[in-house]
Amino acid sequence: MKKWVLSGAAILNSDKTSERVYITIENGRIAYAGEKDTGIKDVIYTDGIISSGLINSHDHLIGNYWPKVGNGPYENWLPWDNDLKSSPVYQERQQIENRDLYLLAGYRNLLSGVTTVSDHIPHFVAEPFYDIIPTKAIRNYTLAHSISSFYLAWGDGIKEEYQKALEQDVPFITHISEGFDDETVANLVTLEKLGALGAHSVLIHGIAFSESDMDLIKKRGASVVWCCDSNIFMFNDTTNIKMLLDKGINVCIGTDSPMSGGLNLLYEMKFDMKYYRKKYGEELSDDTIYRMVTENPAKAFRLYDNGSIKEGNLADLIVVRDRGGSYQNSVVNAELKDIMLVVINGMPVYGNSEYASLFKGCNVNYQEVVVDGVEKVVIGDLVGLLKRINRAVGFKKEFPFMPVEY
């Protein structure tokens, strides 16, 4: 089907919710979104809530494995990396081909409703694999690993990478203030002196941000990515998220890799809300969390045709089971079993088995699996991937972020 309609109980956008809706999908984009039946014959009906696909704002796809590794809290990222590289789990991971690690990461994100992920890694490492993974990775970006003298040699230098970001109108992505030593605490001042702090800057972690740092971030229009689970695991601390939000800074949510961070983005959202409640004695609203995985990252990563459901945008959509209460609550508190359908670039890629006819109608090859106790259909060969991983490591490897039966 080149042109089809998705109809659900509601369209969820951060600024407006429409009920009893129809979305016309044509050539990979949203041609119409509203409450009028357009008369197109190919209609997929669902009683779920239709949302823009979720955006995971920080991951290292080649590092997706399990369990977590570390004996923190650490002073900065480097001793954790040393512990990682010397661990038996890392040696086990090294037995798996990079292609399959990327596929594993792609499916981990897809099954949690993520349609786009920011993979923080040099281009030459990732580019060979972006076309084979079942979700989308952001391709256009410049980067630095971090802003310290002990950074990994990613990119052509901070000044050069930021200048390229300006010229190409793409995000400049870097870890920053990830720790407590004097140099790391001064990271943002260093970035400002280098002329690399601005609206194109996407700043990962920011554990050591001071209030003056945050005021400067706000002034320069930069974005911040919060990876709470990873921060707590590695450092027993995280950024002052309440202050960031109170100052109106554009904040996004990332998982980091599951070797230090959350199992998936659905888990991460719930972890973040629980942390916020415990830390500040108040609720982090469903609407705020929802924006942090949709429109906020679309802004940060300059994805001008993503992050919301409107005509002309890419048809990156998810259908989530209505859990009752607010529509945003159904998304931010969803479990894996609640992801009913995932559409990327107008094509179905994952969903409940009841949508198999849609896959057939769009000529999408799919596989039948059971995820979190629910019968699903998924693009590609997820079962073959898991079997290859088992052969590589020599036993049946279990991944909590991918409870797949086959």
| Residue-wise pLDDT tens digits, 291-301 | 999 999 999 99
User: What dihedral angle (degrees, nearest 10) is formed by the CA atoms of 181, 185, 187, 193?
Assistant: -120
> Residue 398's closest CA among 31, 104, 146, 182?
104
Q: How would residue 15 be classed by pLDDT, with cut points 50, 70 and 90?
A: confident
- pLDDT, residue 118, reads 98
CA separation, residue 12 to residues 23, 49, 136, 288, 366 (Å):
12, 7, 21, 14, 27
Domains of the chain from N-terminus onward: 3-53+308-405 (2.30.40.10), 54-300 (3.20.20.140)
Mean pLDDT of the chain: 97
Instruction: State pLDDT tens for residues 181-216.
Output: 999 999 999 999 999 999 999 999 999 999 999 999
CA separation, residue 175 to residues 59, 201, 257, 284, 356 (Å):
12, 11, 14, 24, 41
Q: How would residue 332 be classed by pLDDT, with cut points 50, 70 and 90?
A: very high
Instruction: State pLDDT tens for residues 106-126.
Output: 999 999 999 999 999 999 999
Instruction: State pLDDT tens for residues 349-385.
Output: 999 999 999 999 999 999 999 999 999 999 999 999 9
The answer to whether the beta carbons of residues 11 and 50 sit under 8 Å apart is yes
Instruction: State pLDDT tens for residues 296-330.
Output: 999 999 999 999 999 999 999 999 999 988 999 99
The answer to whether the beta carbons of residues 239 and 205 sit under 8 Å apart is yes
- pLDDT, residue 255, reads 98
Q: How would residue 39 be classed by pLDDT, with cut points 50, 70 and 90?
A: confident
CA separation, residue 191 to residues 79, 144, 183, 260 (Å):
23, 11, 12, 25
pTM for the whole structure: 0.98
In the chain, what percentage of residues exceed pLDDT 70? 100
Report the half-sphere exposure of 330 (CA within 13 A, side-chain side): 23
Q: What would the 3-class secondary structure string for the chain be?
A: CCEEEEEEEEEECCCCEEEEEEEEEECCEEEEEECCCCCCCCEEECCCEEEECEEEEEECHHHCCCCCCCCCCCCEHHHHHHHHHCCHHHHHHCCCCHHHHHHHHHHHHHHCCEEEEEECCCHHHHHHHCCCCCCEECCCCEECCCCCCCCCCCCCCHHHHHHHHHHHCCCEEEEECCECCHHHHCHHHHHHHCCCCCCCEEEEECCCCCHHHHHHHHHHCCEEEECHHHHHHHHCCCCCHHHHHHCCCEEEECCCCCCCCCCCHHHHHHHHHHHHHHHHCCCCCHHHHHHHCCHHHHHHCCCCCCCCCCCCCECCEEEECCCCCCHHHHHHCCCHHHEEEEEECCEEEEEEHHHHHHHHHCCCCEEEEEECCEEEEEECCHHHHHHHHHHHHCCCCCCCCCCEEC
Phi and psi at residue 126, in whole multiples of 5°?
Answer: -90, -35
| Average pLDDT value for residue range 2-28 | 91
**76 has pLDDT over 80:** yes
**85 has pLDDT over 80:** yes
Cis peptide before 403 (omega within 30 of 0): no
Q: How would residue 1 be classed by pLDDT, with cut points 50, 70 and 90?
A: confident
| Average pLDDT value for residue range 23-32 | 97
**286 has pLDDT over 80:** yes
- pLDDT, residue 20, reads 85
The answer to whether the beta carbons of residues 400 and 263 sit under 8 Å apart is yes
Task: Name the residue type at position 230.
Answer: S
| Average pLDDT value for residue range 17-34 | 93
- pLDDT, residue 13, reads 87
